[in-house]
Amino acid sequence: MNQDFTEHFRAALRIKTDWPGNAEAGDSAAEKPLVDFQNFLAETFPSFHTCAERTVFSPYSAAYRWPGAADNTGAVDTAPALLLGHYDVVPAETAKWSFDPFGAELKDGYIYGRGALDMKNIVISLMESAEALCRNGFKPQRDIWIVLGGDEEKTGIWGAKETAKWLEEKGLRFSFILDEGTPIAKDQIKGINKPLALIGIEEKGFLSLSLSVDQKPGHASQPPDEQAAAILARALLRVSRRPFPWHLTPAVEAFFKQLSLQSTGAAAFAMKHARMMGPLFYKAAGTSPATKALLRTTTAITQLEGSLADNVLPSAVKAVINLRLLPPWTTETAIERIKTVIADKRVNVSVHGLGTDPVKSGQDQETGNSPGWKEITTALEKVFTGVPVLPFLMLATTDSRHYQNMSKHIFRFSPVLLDPEELSRIHGHDERISLENLEHCLQFYTALMEQL
C-alpha cells in the first residue's frame, strides 16, 4: 500500500466539508472548508496541476482539462472523456460514531471518516492516479476532463449545474462520462453467492414534495372537530397504500437477463423472461425492497412538522415525501399522480427543492457496445479479475444528471467491494473503507486513464 496515498486520503477526510444545518450558497462557514479542500488538492498534487488546466468556478466546483495528444474533435473514440466526483459530504451525528467522523482514524485495516466511501476515496484516487501518471511522463491520447463538485449533497445546483452549463456553452461533447455509482456487490442479491460489478447505465429521477394543511392556530384545550394533522395523516396513508405501478425499463431488463446467467432453476428462468412473465415476476421480485426499487417509482415519507409546543394547535402541519422516479414517470406526471391519489384540495402539494427527471440509458449501453464500456470493464478486469459485470439502474442521484446533454453514454460506478453491512455505512454511522478497497480505487482509475 502506497503510504503517501493513504496519508493524502486521511488528510482529505480531516477537512470538514459537510453541510452544517440549513446552510445555503454564500454561507461562509460552509464554503471555507470547500475552498480549503480545493487548495489542498493543488498543494498535494503539484505534477497534475502542472499537466492540467484548472478552472475554479466557486467553492462548489473545479474543472481540470488534461490535454491529450490526439485531435479529439472528430471520431467518438478520440472525443474527450469526463470523470466526475464530489468532495462535500453529509453531516455526521458525532455522538453515535465510535470514532471522530473527521479524524480519519486507521484501525484494523479500515480508515474511518465521513466521506470514506462517499466519495473522497474516488476523488483522491483520481488525483493520485493522475499525479503519478503525469510525474512519469504519461500523456493521454484524448483530453481527459475531471470535474469535482462541492455541493452534490445539496443537489449540485451551484456546482455541477453551473459547470455543466459552462462546458455546454463551449460546445463540448464527451465520448463517455463516469461518475460515482453502484459498487461491486457482495452478498447483496438473494441467491447469488459471487460478487457482481454493477455499472449504472440509467438513473432514477429525484423529486421531493411538501404536503401541507393549514388551520387556525389556538389553544390545544379547544381543538376543532377535524384537525389539520388528521387530514394530512389521511393523505399520507392514501399515498402509502397506492404505490406507483410496476415497470420494467430496458436497463433493468438487461440486468435481470444477465443476472439469470449467475443463477439456476426457476429463478434463472424468471429473470431471463421477466417481461414475458409480467405480474408473476413483479410479485416475486416485490418481496425485496432492493429489487422493488428497480421496478417502480418509490415514495418515502421523510419529514413531519407540526406545532412547536405540545399545548398549541399548529397553524400548519407539513410532511415531505421523497420520490425516486422510474421512467416513464417525470416530475410533472408524478406530481399529478400524487394529487390524484390524495384527492383532497385541503392538502397543498408543492415541490420541495430541486426535482429532476430520470436519466435513461444511452444507445447500446444495455448491450455493452457503447463508448466507455470497454475502457471501464478492462480496468475492472485488471483489478477485480473474473468478477461478472452487469448493467444496472442507479437508484440514487449523482452529479452526472446535470451533464446528460453532453454525452449519450453515462456510467455510474464505484470500484469498491461492499457487502450489505459496509454499504449501510454510506450516509450512516462509522462510515469506513478498507485499505484493500482504497487500493482498488487507485488501481482502477490508473488502469482506466492509461487507456484514454
Give the three cell numbers for residue 358.
430520470
- Which DSSP letter does residue 75 get? -
Alpha carbon 178 to its chain's center: 12
By the 8 A CB rule, do 58 and 162 touch? yes
Q: Is the peptide bond before 406 cis (omega within 30 degrees of 0)?
A: no
Active site residue 152: yes
Rg (CA), the chain: 23
Nearest residue to 150 (alpha-carbon basis) of 39, 59, 64: 59
Give the three cell numbers for residue 247.
415497470
Burial of residue 93 (number of CB atoms within 10 Å: 0-12, 13-18, 19+): exposed
Residue 437: its H or E element:
helix 435-449
CA–CA distances in Å: residue 355 to residues 43, 154, 325, 351: 36, 12, 10, 7
Distance of alpha carbon 44 from alpha carbon 101, whole angstroms: 22
Active site residue 24: no
Say which of 18, 31, 88, 131 is annotated catalytic: 88
What's the one-letter identity of residue 47? S
Distance of alpha carbon 133 from alpha carbon 368, whole angstroms: 28
Residues 6+ apart with CB under 8 A from 230: none
In the sheet with 348-351, reading across from the earlier edge strand, the strands are 298-305, 316-325, 205-214, 348-351
* Three-class SS state of 88: coil
Nearest residue to 91 (alpha-carbon basis) of 7, 33, 5: 33
Distance of alpha carbon 58 from alpha carbon 233, whole angstroms: 42
By the 8 A CB rule, do 344 and 234 touch? yes
Residue 44: its H or E element:
helix 28-44
Give the three cell numbers for residue 405.
446533454
Distance of alpha carbon 66 from alpha carbon 57, whole angstroms: 17
Distance of alpha carbon 69 from alpha carbon 72, whole angstroms: 9
CA atoms within 13 A on the CB side of 280: 10
Say which of 18, 118, 131, 152 is annotated catalytic: 152
What's the one-letter identity of residue 167? L
Q: Is the peptide bond before 217 cis (omega within 30 degrees of 0)?
A: no
Q: Are strands 176-185 and 81-86 parallel, antiparallel or unpaired?
A: parallel
**Annotated catalytic sites, by residue?**
88, 152
